[in-house]
Structures are given as C-alpha cells and as structure tokens.
Amino acid sequence: MREAGKVLGELHERLKELVVPGVSTYEIDMKCREMIKGYGCEPNFLDYQGYPSSVCVSVNEEVVHGIPKKDRFLNEGDIVSLDTGVIYKGYHSDAARTWPVGQVDEEAIRLMEVTREAFFEGIRYAVDGGHLFDIGKAIQMYVEKNGFSVVRDLVGHGIGTHLHEAPEIPNFKPIGRGIRIQKGMTFAIEPMVNEGLYGVENTGDGWTFVTCDGKRSAHYENTILITDGEPEILSLNI
Ligand code: MF3
Ligand code: CO
C-alpha cells in the first residue's frame, strides 16, 4: 500500500500539469491511464461497478464521480477535482485533489484551501485508540467555522485489497463515537466541501453528483495508515 500510495501521490502531481484551459476531461483520463500503466500499476476506478474511466473529473458544481468526456473542456476560472487510484500487487490507493484552471476567484481558492486543511484537521484524530467519528467531527467543525458545508451523502472508507472496505468514514459527526481506531488500519479520508448548502444530487448519467444549489464543491483525499503515532499519509509525497 505504501508503493500504491507513492505512485498515486506522484501521479497527482503529473495530472496537475494537464489542468489547463482547453483540455478535454477525456484527454486527462487517457493520459492518466497511460501513466498508471507506466508505473506497472492498474487503474482501480476503471470498470468499478461499471465506471468507465480511470479518473473522476468533477468541475465546479460537480461534487464527485464526474465522467470524462471528449466534448467537455476545462475553462479558465473553473475548479476541477481529480479523483483516482491505483492497484499495486493487489493493494489499492485512492486520492483526490482539486485544482484551479488558470486564474480563479478568491472564493474558489478559499474553498480549495479549506477542503485541504479540513483533511489535516480530521487526521489529527486518526490515531490508535481513537474513535472513528472524531475524524468527521473535526472536519465538519473546521469547514463550518469557515462558512462552508460538508457533504453528508458521501463518505470516506477503509481501503486495502479492495477500493472500498469497511468502515464508512463520515466527514461530519454522526450519533455515537464510531469504532475504535487501531494501528495497521488503512483509510481513505476524503472531505467533500460545498460553497453553499450541503445537499447533493445525482445527475442523469447515474454517476456524477452535483450540488443541489449549483454552487461549487471541492474534494481532497488521501490514503492513510494508522500507526503508533501520527498517521502516515501514503498518497502524498513531500
Ligand atoms: N474515490 C472514489 C470514492 O471513494 C472512488 C470512485 S469509484 C468510481 O468514492 F467508480 F466512481 F470511480
Ligand atoms: Co475514496
């Protein structure tokens, strides 16, 4: 999983370079597939429950699971979330980043920053002996303090020999404390943060989620490993 994560962290840095005005979301998918193959890995999203691409490309009011298309082009001023993952020797990684397309407005920058920072607030509680729902509680508090809202209908998850494993990891505080976190567990923590209301809805394609109020959304995700001390962020190379 360390290797799958390392590849993915680097892959995201390379995908970032493709985010320019005029590029089609399909081109990003094609290049992403090639890069994953180049690492000797497999794309885990492709054919997952029929999903047609190696990467989810979600623009502006699209929250997650946007499907790349030949006739969908990125425009200056958009924000775009890229969510992808790889399999290395049977082990999965999963991570998302939200990037600006060219110059974007101040509010968009703040939305992307708060989303990323919310992830780091959350993983302070991703410690051996901790309670699972404290992660989402911290994420929600940070996001709401900054005037945005967290998506409730979609959650983070365990990850390992499958992309999605138990437990579900909400980005908000449910009733109760959740399971006790133990070292050796591997999670995908993935705050999805809306500029306006927290509600999302599915579109006609059966995959793409959009905000119910049409305002923008950002996504930031990493695969992490619970240790004796601070969690290890497997899909972020610093
Ligand atoms: N990272 C995404 C998630 O955890 C995975 C999407 S699966 C796909 O929800 F099929 F939509 F690609
Ligand atoms: Co995920």
C-alpha dist (Å) from residue 40 to 20, 43, 87: 27, 10, 9
Residues with CB under 6 A from ligand 1: 45, 48-49, 51, 56, 65, 83, 94, 188
Quick one: average pLDDT of 68-82? Answer: 98
Does a structural domain hold residue 238?
no
Instruction: Provide the CATH number for the domain around residue 108.
Output: 3.90.230.10
Residue with tokens 């429950």: 49
Number of domains in the chain: 1
Share of the chain above pLDDT 70, in %: 100
83: phi then psi, degrees, rounded to nearest 5: -125, 120
C-alpha dist (Å) from residue 82 to 66, 134, 209, 221, 231: 9, 26, 14, 10, 23
C-alpha 45 – ligand 1 centre gap (Å) = 6
| In the predicted structure, residue 237 carries a pLDDT above the cut 90 | no
Does a structural domain hold residue 72?
yes
Give the number of the ligand closest to the Cα of residue 53: 1
Per residue in 93-102, pLDDT tens? 999 999 999 9
What is the distance between the alpha carbons of residues 91 and 154, in angstroms, rounded to a whole number?
Answer: 23
| In the predicted structure, residue 176 carries a pLDDT above the cut 90 | yes
Per residue in 116-175, pLDDT tens? 999 999 999 999 999 999 999 999 999 999 999 999 999 999 999 999 999 999 999 999
Quick one: average pLDDT of 167-186? Answer: 98
Give the number of the ligand closest to the Cα of residue 55: 1
Which atom of ligand 1 is nearest to 83's Cα?
1
Share of the chain above pLDDT 90, in %: 99
C-alpha dist (Å) from residue 69 to 21, 24, 66, 73, 196: 15, 7, 9, 8, 27
Quick one: average pLDDT of 35-61? Answer: 98
3: phi then psi, degrees, rounded to nearest 5: -65, -45
Chain-wide mean pLDDT for the chain?
98
Q: What is the pLDDT of residue 22?
A: 98
Does a structural domain hold residue 131?
yes
Does a structural domain hold residue 164?
yes
Per residue in 206-227, pLDDT tens? 999 999 999 999 999 999 999 9
Domain span holding position 41: 2-233
